[in-house]
Chain A
Amino acid sequence: MSLNIYGSELDSRLLIGTALYPSPEIMKASVIASKAKVVTLSLKRQSPILGSKQGSGLESGQGGGQAIWQYIQSLASEHEIKLLPNTAGCKTADEAYTLAQMSRELFGTPWVKLEVIGDDYNLQPDPIELLDACKRLIADGFQVLPYCTDDLVLCQRLYDLGCQVIMPWASPIGTGKGLLNPYNLTTIRERLPKATLIIDAGIGKPSDACQALELGYDGVLLNSAVALASDPVTMAQAFAYAVESGELARSAGLMPERQTAQPSTPTLDTPFWHQTT
């Protein structure tokens, strides 16, 4: 019943982001309600304006900074939640490699959620730069969790490089469109039975998360679906139940689909059965 990430056994299959919440307090309460044992976070260059000692409201709000870092630290220490730094905003392997090195020093973890974006419109990962970055990071001792498209061959290449965890998207980041191509995702699951597969990005509803687990995925990483809900804390709880439900359904074994109807009530010896044929 646990999720294995590079040898760490986690008792939740949900990974959750820390961005876009109405406040740091709601972020913290949502993470706790989700029961997630991994949170994602990022690094940002200190703004010259926000960083000025003369400035007021220093590093508050969505800009993040000290306040949000303190909340994330308290989550990690009080709730045994692991940190998964990302390389959001990187467009080349060079940028991602540098950012990952800084993250490792700062957060003290070899884990990195590798994002190398190739298209600004739909934030689609660049497979060429992603593979290049992956190769360099693994050679440098990182444990890489690459965010990628639902392309089977790309996932195979990432696995061959040494990625024990692979994170194909359900749909583009922040769209909430759910699993756009269950066929592709199912094929990846079937062809990479030993990889830890986590759906990352595009989850909009708890039923999407449940579907991912039903397809055999090991976990789900999401952010917007909770943070942008009218009530993020309750939505986080809903996702916790959805992931648990999907996992139970998978382990129970789903019935096979049929093309034609099959009566669930036995028709033999029911009144008038012979008249209906």
Chain B
Amino acid sequence: MITISINEQKYKFYEQITLSEALTRYFEHESKPTVFALAVNQNFVPQTQYANHQLSSGDIVDIFSPIQGG
């Protein structure tokens, strides 16, 4: 079993999981923004790599979406 943190919430998975699979599971419970980008362990992961990016236990996934700014 591995534990992944996604937006500060801990999720347990019984098997090795890709970033793409983890996101699918995450968005079953959380609202999916129309657009988003993300970082794993504070490193940017491009959308094109979600399917191939294998997550490890303890990884921290942060999902970002647009907001107003100055």
Chain A interface (Cβ < 8 Å from any Cβ of B): 17-21, 27, 40-48, 51-53, 55, 58-59, 62-66, 68-69, 72, 85-86, 88, 94-95, 98-99, 101-103, 105-107, 173, 223-224
Of A51, A62, A103, which contacts B37 at CB under 8 A? Answer: A103
Residues of A within 8 A of B46 (CB): 105
Residues of B within 8 A of A173 (CB): 70
- B34-70 contacts to A, CB under 8 A, are 34-39, 42-44, 46-47, 62-70
In addition to A19-B68, A53-B30, A107-B66, 9 A-B residue pairs with Cβ atoms within 8 Å of each other are A41-B68, A43-B64, A48-B9, A52-B31, A64-B68, A68-B68, A86-B70, A98-B43, A101-B44
- Dominant secondary structure of chain A at its interface with chain B: mixed
- Complex Cα distance, B69 from A42, in Å, reads 5
Chain B interface (Cβ < 8 Å from any Cβ of A): 7-9, 29-31, 33-39, 42-44, 46-47, 62-70
Nearest Cβ distance between residue B58 and chain A, in whole angstroms? 18
B34–A66 touching, CB < 8 Å = yes
- Complex Cα distance, B70 from A18, in Å, reads 6
B39–A106 touching, CB < 8 Å = no
A106–B8 touching, CB < 8 Å = no
B8: nearest chain-A partner, CB-CB: A48
- Complex Cα distance, B30 from A98, in Å, reads 24
Nearest Cβ distance between residue A167 and chain B, in whole angstroms? 12
